[in-house]
Structure 1
Amino acid sequence: MTNVPVEGIAIPDIAHPEPQNNWRKYFSFSTDHKVIGIQYLVTSFVFFLIGGLLSMVIRAELITPQADLIDRTLYNSMFTMHGTIMIFLWIFPSLVGLANYLVPLMIGARDMAFPRLNAAAFWMVPIFGILLMTSYFLPAGTAQAGWWSYPPVSTQNPTDSIITGEFVWILAVAISGVSSIMGAVNFVTTIVRMRAPGMTFFRMPAYVWTVFSAQIIQLAALPALTAGAIMLLFDAAAGTAFFNPDKGGNPVLFQHFFWFYSHPAVYVMVLPIFGVFSEIFPVYSRKPLFGYKVVAVSSLLITTVSVLVWVHHMYASNTPGWMRMLFMATTMLVAVPTGIKVFAWVATIWKGKLRLDTPMLFCLGALIMFVFAGITGVMLASVPIDIHVNNTYFVVGHFHYIVYGTITMGMFAAIYHWFPKMTGRMYYEGLGKLHFALAFIGVNLNFFPMHPLGLQGMLRRVSSYEPEYAFWNVVASIGAFLLGMSTIPFILNMVGAWVQGKPAPDNPWRAIGLEWLVSSPPPVENFEELPIVVSGPYGYGKSDPLVENAAALKEG
C-alpha cells in the first residue's frame, strides 16, 4: 500500500467501500454523524417551512393598517411561534446538522466523539417541535408572550389549567437547551481529541474554528437560559416567585438570564456561517483565505467578547447609566474581530478568478447584507439611538438582516456547496440562481422597509398601525411573499437533484480539504485509514507543482 500526497495530506491509495443508500436509515436511531447531519437538516427545513408560512400570514395581516385578517390573540400566537420555530427549530438545528456532517470529515475523524449522545440530541429536536405544535390544540391556547417570553406576561394563567401554552413553550425551550448542551459537549470533545495525525489547531479549516468557538459559547452561556427557563417553568406551574414581583420576585432577573445567553446566541448562529464564507470564498476565487490564522483567532475573540454584551438589550429596563456606558463599549468592541473577518473575505475575493456559481452568489449576497446589518448593529449599540428605536421595527429589521439575510442565506450557500458530497448528485444550477435572485430581492424588500418604519416610531408586535406607516408595510409584505416564493425552486432543486440529478464526482469544485478526498457520498466510517496532515488547509493558486498535481489528481 502506498501513500499519495495530496495538498499536504497523505492518504492511503485504496478503494473505499460503496456507501449505504438505504433511505430507511434516516428514520432510525443512527449513530453515523453523516446520517444525523442530514436528519437535522431535513427536519429543521420542515420547521423552516412552517415558520415561513406563519410569517406570511403575519405580513398579510400587516399589509393594511387595520387588523382585519385574523384575531389579535391568534396573531400574538403566530408571532410567538414564528420566532420560536425559526430560532430554535430552524437556525440552531440546521447549523448543528451541517456541523455534524462536516466537522468529523474536515478533521479526519471517523465519527463524533459520542455517537449515541449525538443521536439522542437529534431526537430531542422533533420532540421539542411536536411539543410546541401541540400547544395550538390546548384549551388554554398557545404561547403569546413572544419568543423571549418575558414574565410576568409569560406566567399569567387566565384558566384553571396548569398545562397552558406558555407552560408548554417553556418546557419545550428547556428540552431544546438540554439538547444543545449535549451537542456542544460532543463537538468540543471531537475537535479537541479526535483530529487526524498532524491536524494541529492551525491546520484546521476555518469552518471548524468557528464551530469550535460557537460551541464554547453554548457551554458557557446556555446553562443560564436553561436555568432561567426552568425557574420560569416553576413560576408558571408551581407558584414559585423567582420572577413574580407580587411575591417579591424580580422579572428583570429573567431578562438577564435570557440575554446572557440570547445575545451570544446570535454569534452561535452566525459564527458557523462565517466559517462557511471562509470555506467557499477561497474555492470560488481560487485564492487562499487571506490572513487564515488571524481569521481563526478572531472567532475566539468574538466568543470572549460576546458574553460581555448582553445588557445592551436592556438599556430601557431601568439600567444604571454606568452600566449602559460599559456595555455600549463592549458591544462596539465586537465589531473589531468581526471587521477582521470581513476584511479577510474581501481580500480573498479581490483579484480572484471568480466563479459565480450558486454557492458563491449566496455567500456574496449574505456578506453584503451582513455588512449592512453590522452598520445598524453599531447604531443599536449606541445608548441614545437604541433608546430612541427601542421596541420598534428598526430592531426587527436589523435582526432579520442577520438571521435571514446572513445566516439563512449562508446556510443555503453551504447546502448547495456540499450537496454533491452529501448526496452524490449535482444540483441544477439554473434553479439555484433563480432561488438566489428571488431570495436576495425578497430579503431586501421585506426587511429594509422596517428600518425607516422604526425610525418613524412604528412599534413591533402590533397587528394594526397608523395609516402613515402603510406604504413601507405594503413593500415589506410584498417582499415577504416573494421570499416565500423563493423557497419553491429550492425545494424543486433539492428533491429533483437528489432523486435523479447528474452523478457528482468526488470533488466537483476542485476544492482543497479532507472532505473532498473521499467518495460522494462518503463511506460509513469516512476513511479506510486516518489521513496524515502535513500542511495548512488553503493552497489555492499556489505555484507549487505538488499542489497543482494534487488538484489535478482530485479533479480526476
Structure 2
Amino acid sequence: MATESIKYLTPETETKLKSKAFPRPHQNTSGIVNWLTTIDHKKIGVMYGLAALFFLILGGVEALLIRSQLWNHNMEVLSNREYNQMFTMHGTTMVFLVIMPLSAAFFNFIMPLQIGARDVAFPRMNTLSLWCFIAGGITLNLSWFFTGGSPAIGWFGYAPLTDTRFAEVIGDMGPDFWIFSLQILGLASLLASFNFITTIINMRAPGMTMMRLPVFTWMTLIVSFLIILAFPAITIALVELMFDRTYGTNFYDFLEGGKPHLWQHLFWIFGHPEVYILILPAMGIVSEIIPVFSRKPLFGYGLIVFSGAIIGFMGFAVWSHHMFTTGMGIVATSAFSILTMLIAIPTGIKIFNWIGTMWGGRIRFETPMLFALGFITMFMVGGFTGIMHSSVPIDAQHQDSYFVVAHFHYVLIGGALFGLFAGFYFWLPKLTGKMLNEKLGKFVFTLMFIGFNVTFFPMHYLGMIGQPRRTHSYNEGHGFETWNQIATIGAFILGVGILIGVYQFVTAFFNKKLKDAGKNPWDARTLEWTLSSPVKEYNFARTPIIKSRDQAWENNYGPKENHSDKVPLDDHGVHMPDRSWYPLVSGLGFLGLVLGLLFHQSVDANTGEILRDYTYAIAGGSIAIFGIIMWSLEGPAGYHLFPKETEE
C-alpha cells in the first residue's frame, strides 16, 4: 500500500493516492464529521476533557443528592436503595469517568508537544481508546433504565454481597452494567497506556534524553506502567464476579468453597495503585506550574522523578492497609503497616522539592499557581490522615467512619481535582489561543477552596464522634446534625465553584471577547510554549533539537549555544495521517458486544427455563474486529503539508 514520493500534492495526485487505500474523510472535513473521524491527539484530548467535565457535573449532582439526604436525621430525600445507588454511581463516576479521563485529556494534548512529537505512536488506537471510554460511560449510566436501576453495591463492589442472592430487586441488572462498564473502561485505559509508553520511549525529539523529559511527561510514563500492571487484577476480579452472577460459579461463595477475601485482595491490588494513577498526573502538572510562577528552575528534578517512580512501585505493596479489620493476622498487618508508613517518604520529598522551588522565587499568584498551592495544602492534609491510618489500632477505630471519607476526599478532590484545574487554567491558553478571565478564575478558586474545606474538614470530627459512612440516615441525639448541615452547605458552595469553572473552560473555545494568548503568555519553560496558540495540526513544522531541560527558557534567556536547533524540512514537507471512521466503528462494536453480553439471556414464559442467545454479542464483537482490520488496511496515504503551508 506504499505511496510514491511526491514533492507537491496536487488535487489529482491526492485523489490518486487515496484511491490506493480505503476511502477516508478528506483533511478539510468540518463539523461533526471532523470530530468523529479525527485521529489528532489534540482533538482526542479535547474530547476526553469535555466528556470528563460532563461526567464531573453528573457526579457532582449525585454528591449533592447524597449531602441533601444527610442534611438532618431521618431525611427522606432518598430512600435507602436510592442512596446506595447514588453512592455507587458517584464513586464510580468520579474515579473512572472524571479523574482518570481528565488525566488522559492532559496526557493526550500535552505529552506529545513536550517531547517534540507530531502525534502519538498509534493515532487510531488512541482514538479507539476515546470511543471505548465513551462506550464505558454510556454502559454505566444506561443501568438507570433497566431492571433494578443503577448498581447499589458501592463503588468497591464487595463480593459476595454483589451476588444475585443478595439483590434487593429480582433480576437486578445494576451490578452487571457496573461490571461490563469497568471492563470496557479498563480496555480504554490499557490502549492509551501502551500508546503513551511507546510514544515517550520512541518519539522524543533529538537531544530529548530521559533526564530532560518534563516532569509531567515522566508522570505520564509512570502512570501508564501502573495502569498496565494494575488493571489485570481488577479484570480477573470482575470476570470471576460475572461468572458467579451469570453462570453459578463460586469464586467468592464461602459456603461453596469460595473465598470472600479474594475479591478484596484483587480489588485493592488494583485499587491502591489506582490512587497513584489518579494523583501522579496532578503532581506532574504542579511540577510544571510551580517553577513557571516562581521564576526558578525546578528544585531537585531528579528527586521528583525518582520519588514518583518509587511511589508507583510501592503502591503495589500497600494494598492490604484497606483490609486491616478483616483478620489477616499480626504478621500481614504489621508488614503492610510499615510499608504504608514508608510510602509517605517519597511523597514528602516531592512536597519539600516544591517548597524549595518556591523558596526565594518571585512568586506570581495567578490562577494556575493558586490551584497548585491549593493542591499542595489539601494533599498534605490527606497525607497526614493517611499516615494516621498506617497505624492498625487507629485504622480499626476509623474504619467505616466519616473520618475515612474526609481522608480520601482530601487526597482525590483536594489533591487530584485541584491539580487538574490548575492544569486547565495553565494550558487552556495554549489549546484555545485565548487567555481565561483571571478574576473569574480566582473567584472559582476561592469558591472551591472554601467550599471544599467547609464540606470535608467537619467530616473528620463526624468520624471521631462515631458517624458511620455508607449509611443513608442517622438517628437524632448523636450530635451529627450541625456538622452535616455545615458540610452540606460547603458541598453546594464547592458545586457552584466547579460549575463556574467548567463553564469558563467550555466557553473559552468560542468566547471571542477573550484576549489572545500568544505563544507563551506565562513565560513558561517547556517545549510546547515555543509553538503557536492554538497549536497547528502538525505540531512542529520542523523537529526541534533539544539542548536543555527548560528549552523555552534557554531559547529566550540562555546563551546562543543552548538555543534549540531544528531538523531541516525534507522535500516531502510534513506528512500527517488522514482521518478514519474505523476507530469509531470499532468503539461502537465494543459497545454492542457489551450490551449483547448484558442481554444475552431470557426466561421461557412456559417452562421458566433460562435461554441464552449470544447473537448480538457476536455481532458487536465482529463489528469491533472488522473496524480494527479495516484500519490496518487503510495504508499510509494521508495528506501533506508543505513549507509554504506550515508555520514555525
Whether TM exceeds 0.5 here: the answer is: yes
The match for 1:412 among 391, 412, 421 is: 421
Partners of 1:238 and 1:108 in 2: CA distance: 51
C-alpha spacing 1:287/1:537, structure 2 compared with 1 (3 Å)? same
Write out aligned runs for 1:88-487 (5 A).
Answer: 88-157=96-165, 158=167, 164-467=173-476, 468-487=479-498
AA partner of residue 269 (structure 1): L
Deviation at 1:544, TM superposition (A): 6.2
**What's the counterpart of residue 521 of structure 2?**
508
Q: Residue 150 of structure 1 contacts residue 255 of structure 1 at CA under 8 Å; is this kept in 2?
A: yes
1:80 is aligned to 2:80? no
Deviation at 1:319, TM superposition (A): 1.1
Deviation at 1:160, TM superposition (A): 8.9
SS in 1 for 2:258: coil
Deviation at 1:156, TM superposition (A): 2.5
1:44 is aligned to 2:52? yes
C-alpha spacing 1:442/1:173, structure 2 compared with 1 (3 Å)? same
C-alpha spacing 1:260/1:424, structure 2 compared with 1 (3 Å)? same
Partners of 2:169 and 2:557 in 1: CA distance: 74
Q: Which moved more, 1:209-218 or 1:441-450?
A: 209-218
Q: Residue 121 of structure 1 contacts residue 179 of structure 1 at CA under 8 Å; is this kept in 2?
A: yes
Partners of 1:473 and 1:78 in 2: CA distance: 18
Partners of 1:33 and 1:185 in 2: CA distance: 15
Q: Runs of 5+ in structure 2 lacking a partner?
A: 1-26, 565-648
Deviation at 1:42, TM superposition (A): 0.3
**What's the counterpart of residue 535 of structure 1?**
548
Deviation at 1:354, TM superposition (A): 0.8
C-alpha spacing 1:66/1:277, structure 2 compared with 1 (3 Å)? same
**What's the counterpart of residue 8 of structure 1?**
none
Number of equivalences: 534
C-alpha spacing 1:349/1:540, structure 2 compared with 1 (3 Å)? farther
Partners of 1:271 and 1:214 in 2: CA distance: 7
Deviation at 1:291, TM superposition (A): 0.6
Partners of 1:336 and 1:547 in 2: CA distance: 40
Partners of 1:20 and 1:510 in 2: CA distance: 33
Deviation at 1:370, TM superposition (A): 0.7
Write out aligned runs for 1:22-41 (5 A).
Answer: 22=30, 24=32, 27-41=35-49
AA partner of residue 363 (structure 1): A
Partners of 2:180 and 2:474 in 1: CA distance: 33
**What's the counterpart of residue 497 of structure 1?**
508
Q: Residue 529 of structure 2 contacts residue 552 of structure 2 at CA under 8 Å; is this kept in 1?
A: no
* TM value normalised by structure 1: 0.92
Deviation at 1:237, TM superposition (A): 1.4
The one-character-per-residue Cα deviations of 1:85-117 (angstroms, maximum 9, x if unpaired) are 011100111101111111111011111111111
The match for 2:78 among 70, 78, 85 is: 70
Deviation at 1:196, TM superposition (A): 0.9
Partners of 2:472 and 2:254 in 1: CA distance: 29
The one-character-per-residue Cα deviations of 1:383-407 (angstroms, maximum 9, x if unpaired) are 1110110011111100001111011
Partners of 1:199 and 1:150 in 2: CA distance: 45
C-alpha spacing 1:542/1:297, structure 2 compared with 1 (3 Å)? farther
Partners of 1:23 and 1:385 in 2: CA distance: 57
SS in 1 for 2:549: coil
Partners of 1:393 and 1:219 in 2: CA distance: 32
Q: Residue 170 of structure 1 contacts residue 233 of structure 1 at CA under 8 Å; is this kept in 2?
A: yes
AA partner of residue 67 (structure 2): R
Partners of 2:173 and 2:520 in 1: CA distance: 52
Deviation at 1:540, TM superposition (A): 6.1
Partners of 1:542 and 1:115 in 2: CA distance: 30
C-alpha spacing 1:365/1:25, structure 2 compared with 1 (3 Å)? farther
Partners of 2:425 and 2:29 in 1: CA distance: 20
AA partner of residue 209 (structure 1): W
Deviation at 1:260, TM superposition (A): 0.2
Q: Residue 363 of structure 1 contacts residue 410 of structure 1 at CA under 8 Å; is this kept in 2?
A: yes
Partners of 1:64 and 1:53 in 2: CA distance: 19
Deviation at 1:162, TM superposition (A): 5.6
Q: Residue 151 of structure 2 contacts residue 178 of structure 2 at CA under 8 Å; is this kept in 1?
A: yes
Q: Which moved more, 1:52-61 or 1:218-227?
A: 218-227
* TM value normalised by structure 2: 0.79
SS in 1 for 2:114: helix
Partners of 1:80 and 1:356 in 2: CA distance: 38
Q: Residue 62 of structure 1 contacts residue 473 of structure 1 at CA under 8 Å; is this kept in 2?
A: yes
Deviation at 1:272, TM superposition (A): 0.9
Q: Residue 288 of structure 1 contacts residue 539 of structure 1 at CA under 8 Å; is this kept in 2?
A: no
C-alpha spacing 1:26/1:288, structure 2 compared with 1 (3 Å)? farther
Q: Residue 283 of structure 1 contacts residue 540 of structure 1 at CA under 8 Å; is this kept in 2?
A: no
Q: Residue 162 of structure 1 contacts residue 237 of structure 1 at CA under 8 Å; is this kept in 2?
A: no
Q: Residue 154 of structure 1 contacts residue 166 of structure 1 at CA under 8 Å; is this kept in 2?
A: yes
Q: Residue 371 of structure 2 contacts residue 421 of structure 2 at CA under 8 Å; is this kept in 1?
A: yes
Q: Residue 252 of structure 2 contacts residue 259 of structure 2 at CA under 8 Å; is this kept in 1?
A: yes
Partners of 1:381 and 1:217 in 2: CA distance: 22
Q: Runs of 5+ in structure 1 lacking a partner?
A: 1-18, 552-556
AA partner of residue 451 (structure 1): H
Deviation at 1:382, TM superposition (A): 1.0
Deviation at 1:496, TM superposition (A): 3.5
C-alpha spacing 1:378/1:20, structure 2 compared with 1 (3 Å)? farther
Q: Residue 315 of structure 1 contacts residue 387 of structure 1 at CA under 8 Å; is this kept in 2?
A: yes
Q: Which moved more, 1:336-345 or 1:153-162?
A: 153-162
Deviation at 1:159, TM superposition (A): 8.0
SS in 2 for 1:196: coil
Deviation at 1:26, TM superposition (A): 6.5
Q: Which has the larger radius of gyration?
A: 2
Partners of 1:550 and 1:185 in 2: CA distance: 32
SS in 1 for 2:480: helix
1:546 is aligned to 2:555? no
